[in-house]
């Protein structure tokens, strides 16, 4: 059992010199309940994978799907370099990263 772990370590150390890219979703902040957060996170991952070259289309897919599932007035921003200051309804905010450098902010306001 110890031998395969050592092999993985050696492979990781040689590849560790390059920049690490996180391919898993990383939730930076959320005040959603767990069920909504999971659905929103999966939707964001799906949209970013499907439209990996077009952030605007990914944001539109996220917004339209959230509007259908959880009612109107959802907003979505997908991109690599943006700042934001928003007002949102309580329990309706998700800020996450995916693919290492793509940030997604999804919120609802009425």
Q: What are phi and psi of 96, to 5 degrees?
A: -145, 165
Amino acid 76: pLDDT:
96
Mean pLDDT of 47-52: 94
46-85 per-residue burial string, b: 16 or more CB within 10 A, e: under 16: ebbeebeeebeebbebbbebbeeeeeeebbbbbeeeeeee
Amino acid 110: pLDDT:
82
Amino acid 99: pLDDT:
85
Q: What percent of the chain has pLDDT over 70?
A: 79
């Amino acid at each position: 059992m110890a031998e395969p772990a050592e092999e993985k370590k050696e492979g990781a150390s040689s590849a560790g010199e390059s920049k690490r890219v996180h391919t898993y979703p990383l939730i930076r902040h959320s005040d959603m309940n767990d069920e909504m957060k999971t659905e929103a996170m999966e939707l964001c991952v799906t949209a970013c994978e499907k439209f990996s070259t077009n952030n605007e289309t990914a944001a539109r897919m996220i917004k339209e799907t959230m509007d259908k599932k959880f009612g109107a007035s959802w907003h979505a921003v997908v991109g690599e370099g943006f700042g934001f200051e928003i007002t949102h309804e309580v329990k309706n905010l998700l800020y996450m990263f995916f693919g290492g450098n793509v940030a997604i902010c999804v919120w609802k306001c009425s």
